[in-house]
């Protein structure tokens, strides 16, 4: 299979997400969030295996290995709901970088979103055998967003982008160029 084949692109992006999550996990101090990220890394190996498996071999994959099921995705949704109850969210776009661990989770989320776009491409081409894989990737990006906000916690006031309808733009402050005085 070609390195530029859409299937290779999809599982390659998932592999990148697994590595990015490894960086995040190395920075996370909270044991519960650490365990969630480790489990998700393992689940992403399952996603990658599904994406790498040709439709003709999918039954063999199902017989011998785990595949993404609605229960796996539902677990993500339960964790998202729990975090949404506990973590206050700003009412504007979050600018990543509040803490090292949160920034790493946001990078992992962005990489996962690229993988999700590649998975959508496979689905549109009729090459995605298990549609739950796409649903899982979509929900996982939401979980990573919430984990990043939980990592920031009260450590920092989150930096947010401004909303056009809520925050007026600050007046531009420009300095006048110095004028040259004639020496005389």
78 belongs to a structural domain: yes
For residue 160, list its beta bridge partners: 94
174 belongs to a structural domain: no
Give the pLDDT confidence of 97-130 residue by residue, as tens digits: 889 999 999 999 999 999 999 999 999 999 999 9
pLDDT at 181: 57
- Residue from 87, 84, 104 nearest 96 by CA: 104
**For residue 155, what pLDDT band results from cuts at 50, 70 and 90?**
low
Rg (CA), the chain: 22
**For residue 176, what pLDDT band results from cuts at 50, 70 and 90?**
low
Kindly give the residue spans of alpha helices, DSSP state H, lying in the chain. 6-27, 31-52, 58-64, 70-86, 100-124, 132-152
pLDDT at residue 163 above 60? Answer: no
Tally the C-alpha atoms within 13 A of residue 153's C-alpha that lie toward its C-beta.
9
181 belongs to a structural domain: no
Arithmetic mean of pLDDT over the chain: 87
pLDDT at 91: 75
**Among the ranges given (44-48, 51-55, 180-184), the one the predictor scored with the smallest mean pLDDT:** 180-184
Q: Tally the domains of the chain.
A: 1
Residue 102 near residue 96 (C-beta atoms within 8 A): yes
115 belongs to a structural domain: yes
pLDDT at residue 90 above 90? Answer: no
pLDDT at 158: 56
118 belongs to a structural domain: yes
Give the pLDDT confidence of 55-84 residue by residue, as tens digits: 888 888 888 998 999 999 999 999 999 999
The CA angle 134-7-122, to the nearest 5 degrees, is: 45
pLDDT at residue 170 above 70? Answer: no
We report the CATH number of the domain holding residue 45 as 1.20.1200.10
171 belongs to a structural domain: no
176 belongs to a structural domain: no
User: 75 or 169: which carries more pLDDT confidence?
Assistant: 75
Span 20-30, average pLDDT = 97
Domain membership of residue 61 as a residue range: 6-152
pLDDT at residue 134 above 80? Answer: yes
How many CB atoms are located within 10 Å of the residue 134 CB? 18
Handedness of CA 114, 120, 123, 129 (dihedral sign): positive
Span 26-33, average pLDDT = 96
CA 77 to chain centre: 14
């Amino acid at each position: 299979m070609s390195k530029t084949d859409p299937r290779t692109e999809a599982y390659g992006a998932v592999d990148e997400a697994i590595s990015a999550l490894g960086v995040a996990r190395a920075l996370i101090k909270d044991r519960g969030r650490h365990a969630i990220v480790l489990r998700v890394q393992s689940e992403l190996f399952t996603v990658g295996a599904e994406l790498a498996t040709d439709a003709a071999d999918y039954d063999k994959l199902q017989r011998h290995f785990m595949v993404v099921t609605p229960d796996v995705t539902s677990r993500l949704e339960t964790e998202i709901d729990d975090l949404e109850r506990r973590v206050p969210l700003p009412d504007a776009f979050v600018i990543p970088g509040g803490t090292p661990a949160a920034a790493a989770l946001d990078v992992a989320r962005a990489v996962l979103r690229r993988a999700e776009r590649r998975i959508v491409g496979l689905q549109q081409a009729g090459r995605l055998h298990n549609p739950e894989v796409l649903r899982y990737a979509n929900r996982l990006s939401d979980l990573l967003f919430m984990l990043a906000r939980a990592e920031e916690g009260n450590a920092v006031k989150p930096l947010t982008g401004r909303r056009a309808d809520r925050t007026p733009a600050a007046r531009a402050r420009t300095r006048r160029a110095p004028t040259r005085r004639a020496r005389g």
